Amino acid sequence: MPSVIRLLGAAVLAVGLAAVPTVAHAHTDFDFSLPTDGASVAEPVAEITVGFTEPVTLVGAGFEVLDPQGNVHTPFAVTDDDTVFRLQLDPPIAGGEAAVRYEVRAEDGHVLSGGIRFTIEAPVPTTAPPSTTTAPASSTAPAVSAAPSSSAAPVTTAPPVTTAPPIDDMAAATSDSVADAADATSADADEADDGGDGSTTTVIVIAAVVVALGATGFLLVRSRSSA
């Protein structure tokens, strides 16, 4: 009999435990993303949204974005409730497949990590090179300075040419001199007749002078004629 009672009590306890509701412990998990995992978008992406089922805190880098060119970006994460995070990128990414990696810690201390991938069909924006157009040169030719006038060469005035007296005049002058000498000789001769031997010497000298003058005049006339 005691055994039966014990069996009935164990059965009631088991039923009672089964009837007591259990408290469910929520488990934090990844919820959604924009763009979604595996999606294709047509425009460059400047913001990515990642949501979780419960509030989380970032661990380490928190979020990292790998762009199609292989560059790793640490976006600026904005959140209002620690559940949904908006990852902002500047400049936007484009040109192929991109990926987002996350690492967060739940309120119960559980660390959650994972990632998503999506494709951006828009090409990478190209930066226009700086303009290298050269401004056209002015068509106006620079003013040409007039060359300074050269200094006038000094004019050398030739010395006045002394005109030689005509040959005829020179000959006449010589003849006059000879005539004058002859007259003087005649006068001296007259005086010689009166003065004796002393006058004779004078006459000889005068005659020599006359002859010399005549010879000089003759040579001068001859040289001018030859010239």
Query: pLDDT band for position 22 (50/70/90)?
Result: very low
Range of the domain at 109: 30-120
Overall average pLDDT of the 95-122 stretch:
96
Compute, in degrees rounded to 10, the torsion defined by CA atoms 124, 119, 49, 109. Answer: -120
Q: Residue 197 domain-assigned?
A: yes
Quick check: pTM over 0.85? no
Query: pLDDT band for position 23 (50/70/90)?
Result: very low
Cβ atoms of residues 37 and 118 within 8 Å: yes
Q: Residue 146 domain-assigned?
A: no
Choose one of 120, 154, 176: the last residue of a domain.
120
Give the pLDDT confidence of 36-57 residue by residue, as tens digits.
999 999 999 999 999 999 999 9
Residues 102 and 172 in one domain: no
| Kind of pairing between the strands at 56-66 and 45-52 | unpaired
Helices marked H in 92-196 — which ranges? 167-195
Count other Cβ atoms within 10 Å, centred on residue 102. 23
Q: Residue 97 domain-assigned?
A: yes
Q: Residue 105 domain-assigned?
A: yes
